[in-house]
Amino acid sequence: MFSRIATRQFSSSAANAYKVTVLGAAGGIGQPLSLLLKLNHKVTDLALYDLRLGAGVAADISHIPTNSTVKGYGPEEDGLAKALTGADVVVIPAGVPRKPGMTRDDLFNTNASIVRDLAKSVADNAPNAAVAIISNPVNSTVPIVAEVLKSKGVYNPKKLFGVTTLDVLRASRFLSEVAGTDPTQEVVSVVGGHSGITIVPLISQTNHKNLDKETYEALVHRIQFGGDEVVQAKAGAGSATLSMAQAGARFAGAILNGLAGEADVVEPSFVDSPLFKKEGIEFFSSKVTLGTEGVKTVHDLGELTNAEAELVKTAKETLVKNIQKGVDFVKANP
């Protein structure tokens, strides 16, 4: 009797005990993201890996009195494998950020190989983890990770996510600014991909479907290119890190809420999607319900205005090329 109670207590607490690993944890995004994950009570084991300073960031964050153990790792002594072993969720912000004048695609050459190599280690050491990719260009890095996981025989399309949450945050904020409303109450579905014209906010599905044409077009443009405001303001010192950390922590939190079996956990994300596969588009961002196995439902886009349908069409033309670029990279550089 005694041992049965003990077992049941163990299993119920185990249901909310998760190991989260951050790869690139000492970077501009990695540090505040790790801090926010330390504040998430579902995270009981936080593993922070970076080429440099992983141990330092971990020592710092570990002093915060929440219910998780924090460990830092570097490339020495098999640190990457150790950081990944047993992970339920892996969040990847490793890579270089943009400088003024650069598009996300300009980062491809450097970040593609970083993400490919990290994905190989994820396949070997955490094949069942949910993997959330922040490293840009997301439209291509997600297909890169998928190809690596496929080549290792461990690809689970329900557990690979491109993090587009920052576009969702910007959409809420910028819409509230033009509508004069409370940003915390504005929920905007953002679909497509994560770069410039592939970012498509569905304003007609909010309470503000009657914005005049000029306001609407300026709003859509600001959501699509909001990242440039930060890149320019930081003047060569990088791109969004703090708002991105908040976005990454929110998305990782949503994955954990899904894994824990909570109801109605819905966030847009760039996932292996049935929506436009017939048109050769393997990945697409739309609202996704998250569950105990990762993606539970990929939602369709719902009703679109003509303007939105046109934006989606344009997004698809770019996305198909961005996705192919990632696939081709892994084929040419396995």
Question: Are residues 260 and 16 in contact, defined by beta-carbon separation less than 8 angstroms?
Answer: yes
Q: Which amino acid is at 167?
A: D
Residues 35-54 that bind ligand NAI (CB under 6 A): 49-52
Could you give the CA distance from residue 191 to residue 199 in angstroms, rounded to a whole number? Answer: 6
Residue 193 interacting with ligand NAI (CB under 6 A): no
Q: Which amino acid is at 126?
A: A
Q: Which is nearer to ligand NAI, 93 or 291 (CB)?
A: 93
CB of 333 to ligand NAI, least distance (A): 15
Angle at 143 between CA 30 and CA 299, to 5 degrees: 90
Number of shown-chain residues binding ligand NAI (CB under 6 A): 33
Residue number with the shortest CB distance to ligand NAI?
A: 27
Residue 56 interacting with ligand NAI (CB under 6 A): no
Q: Which is nearer to ligand NAI, 79 or 208 (CB)?
A: 79
Residue 87 interacting with ligand NAI (CB under 6 A): no
CB of 67 to ligand NAI, least distance (A): 26
Give residues with Cβ within 8 angstroms of 139, minimum separation 6.
Answer: 104, 162, 193, 194, 195, 198, 270, 283, 318, 319, 322, 323, 326
Q: Which is nearer to ligand NAI, 162 or 294 (CB)?
A: 162
CA-closest candidate to residue 24, choices 241, 257, 195: 241
Give 19's DSSP letter: E
Q: Applying CB under 6 A, which of residues 37, 112, 134, 169 lies at the interface with ligand NAI? A: 134
Name the token pair of 30. Answer: 């990695």
Residues 285-324 that bind ligand NAI (CB under 6 A): none
Q: Is 101 exposed, middle or buried (0-12, 13-18, 19+ CB in 10 A)?
A: exposed
Q: Which of 63, 194, 208, 221 is catalytic?
A: 194
Q: 3-class SS at 195?
A: coil
CB of 327 to ligand NAI, least distance (A): 19
Q: Which is nearer to ligand NAI, 195 or 204 (CB)?
A: 195
Q: Which is nearer to ligand NAI, 134 or 211 (CB)?
A: 134
Query: Helix %, strand %, coil % for the chain, to 5?
Result: 50, 15, 30
Q: Which helix (H) or strand (E) holds 62?
A: helix 54-62
Q: Which is nearer to ligand NAI, 44 or 135 (CB)?
A: 135
Q: Applying CB under 6 A, which of residues 166, 191, 301, 323 lies at the interface with ligand NAI? A: 166
- Using CB under 6 A, which of the segments 89-97, 263-271, 295-303, 305-313 binds ligand NAI? 89-97
Query: Site map for ligand NAI, 241-280, x if CB under 6 A?
Result: x--x------------------------------------
Could you give the CA distance from residue 333 to residue 173 in angstroms, rounded to a whole number? Answer: 40
Question: Are residues 247 and 169 in contact, defined by beta-carbon separation less than 8 angstroms?
Answer: yes
Question: Are residues 31 and 248 in contact, defined by beta-carbon separation less than 8 angstroms?
Answer: no
Residue 138 interacting with ligand NAI (CB under 6 A): yes
Q: Answer yes or no: 299 catalytic.
A: no
Give 305's DSSP letter: -
- Using CB under 6 A, which of the segments 13-21, 234-242, 270-278, 290-298 binds ligand NAI? 234-242
Question: Are residues 69 and 17 in contact, defined by beta-carbon separation less than 8 angstroms?
Answer: no
Give residues with Cβ within 8 angstroms of 277, minimum separation 6.
Answer: none
Q: Which is nearer to ligand NAI, 49 or 216 (CB)?
A: 49
Residue 183 interacting with ligand NAI (CB under 6 A): no
The site for ligand NAI (CB under 6 A) is made up of 23-24, 26-30, 49-52, 93-98, 107, 111, 114, 118, 134-136, 138, 163, 166, 194, 238-241, 244
Q: Which residues are catalytic?
A: 194
